Structure 1
Amino acid sequence: MKLTKNPQVPNEYWQAIVANDPSYDHTFLYGVRTTGIFCRPSCKARVPNIENVRIFKNAKLAQFENFRPCKRCKPDGLRQPDEEWMEQMIEWIDQHYKERVTLNRLAEISHGSPSHLQRTFKRVKGMSPLKYIQQVRISQAIHDLETTDRSVTDIGIAVGLPNIAYFVTLFKEKTGSSPSDYRNNHQQKQSKEGHNHELYER
């Protein structure tokens, strides 16, 4: 693996992270800036980019820097509460819903197994991760239909649903009407309300 210089990460520690070496578990912990999670060197999570790695002597220092303990390797025996874990996932989905989001990708980012993430998300949030992602995408599509003149195709692509046939089907399933019908109905409603407001002002 190509090494990128990071003065905060000694080469010896980096090699331990890459090799998932348990002999270093009581020597240091490492945090990943892009996920906000810290792990043992032996953690089986995907090897991060070295530029994003922070080294910590112990869990307290990592937590002081607002890093959260990994759900997979539980550094120093710490366990992130499920509710906090799910809020972290919600925040990530809200920021990345336009991308291709799968259960495996969510599990990789959160350092948990796909099945455990699925069960915990459903228990805490009352729906599966997929359902939540769909909800976020459709909510954004509704906002775009109401506030822009972008085409249905462009809106579908913008919210992470580039298969337009699927976008239309999902939108109708969630709202009861197609995107085009929804926009037309909204415009008619706005026009009627504007007309009524004008009559009232007279």
Structure 2
Amino acid sequence: MNHLDHGTEVNPIKSNTKSIITDHNKDDHNAQEVKAIVRGPIPAAAVPDHMWQAVIANDRAYDGQFFYGVTSTRIFCRPSCKSRPPKKEHVFIFQHAEQALQAEFRPCKRCKPTGVRLPEQEWIDIVKTYIDDHYASPVTLNTLADISHSSPYHLQRTFKRLMGISPNAYVQEVRIQHAKERLRGTKESIADIGAKVGMDNVSYFVTLFKQKTGMTPSAYRENKASNTMNDVCTPD
């Protein structure tokens, strides 16, 4: 014969409700804590740990409570943004999107922190500026997609449609242009110039330079030196 336990009965509905209320109060407390901290932009050195953890975990619970800007790209995002987490030393925290805009950060194209889509030309200009500033470092399509908060496929397609060339072709153009300037203005070796414009492989540098200009780096340097001498020696 079975005997019923006449001990205290636990009401599962009441227990779950209590848990939900506790979690809700905890979320409210976190929101109040964030608002109390974020009065103005917070520099990287002062970013609270729970905010940084929210950024690297893409924690949607913090959306609307703060935004983070990345100084290396001048782009700002929601905490839940799925882009690759930035380095902490490059992060600024803002309470409102307006603060980020006033600080001249651009809204992320992926998470749209202002709710408005970034114009494509402005977005591509961000990528171009990054290439112009980092041509001497390794620059891949994946790198450009990360800094512009997009997919490689979408970036490749949009960049080519607006610029007429692919991102990689633009990188090559920028590097060759800087190589020309060094060939004309310095006595650095061909290998050193190649390395300083982002092409450590001297054979690849020479091949690409000839493909783009019709002559080798050495021939280009000699040609420019000869033209300069002719200009100097030509009488008025």
Give the TM-score of the pair, scaled to structure 2: 0.78
**Structure 2 SS opposite 1:55:** strand
1:6: which partner in 2?
45
Matches within 5 A, 1:96-111: 96-111=134-149
**Structure 2 SS opposite 1:31:** strand
1:134: which partner in 2?
172
Letter in 2 for 1:6: A
Matches within 5 A, 1:6-155: 6-7=45-46, 9-155=47-193
1:195: which partner in 2?
233
2:10: which partner in 1?
none
Q: When the two structures are aligned, how many residues end up with a matched partner?
A: 193
**Structure 2 SS opposite 1:76:** coil
1:58 to partner: Cα distance: 2.1
Q: Which runs of 5+ in 2 are unaligned?
A: 1-43
Give the TM-score of the pair, scaled to structure 1: 0.90
1:155 to partner: Cα distance: 0.8
Change (3 A) 1:147 1:64: same
Matches within 5 A, 1:167-178: 167-178=205-216
**Structure 2 SS opposite 1:38:** strand
Counterpart-to-counterpart distance in 2, 1:176 and 1:49: 42
1:112 to partner: Cα distance: 1.0
1:20 to partner: Cα distance: 0.8
Counterpart-to-counterpart distance in 1, 2:196 and 2:208: 15
Letter in 2 for 1:167: F
2:26: which partner in 1?
none
Counterpart-to-counterpart distance in 2, 1:27 and 1:83: 30
RMSD in angstroms over aligned alpha carbons?
1.4
**Structure 2 SS opposite 1:66:** coil
Letter in 1 for 2:181: H
Q: Deviations over 1:35-80 (max 9, x none)?
A: 1111111111122222322222221221111111111111131221
Letter in 2 for 1:25: D
Counterpart-to-counterpart distance in 1, 2:62 and 2:145: 25
**Structure 1 SS opposite 2:84:** coil
1:92 to partner: Cα distance: 1.2
Counterpart-to-counterpart distance in 1, 2:72 and 2:193: 28
1:183 to 2:221 alignment: yes
Counterpart-to-counterpart distance in 2, 1:24 and 1:134: 41
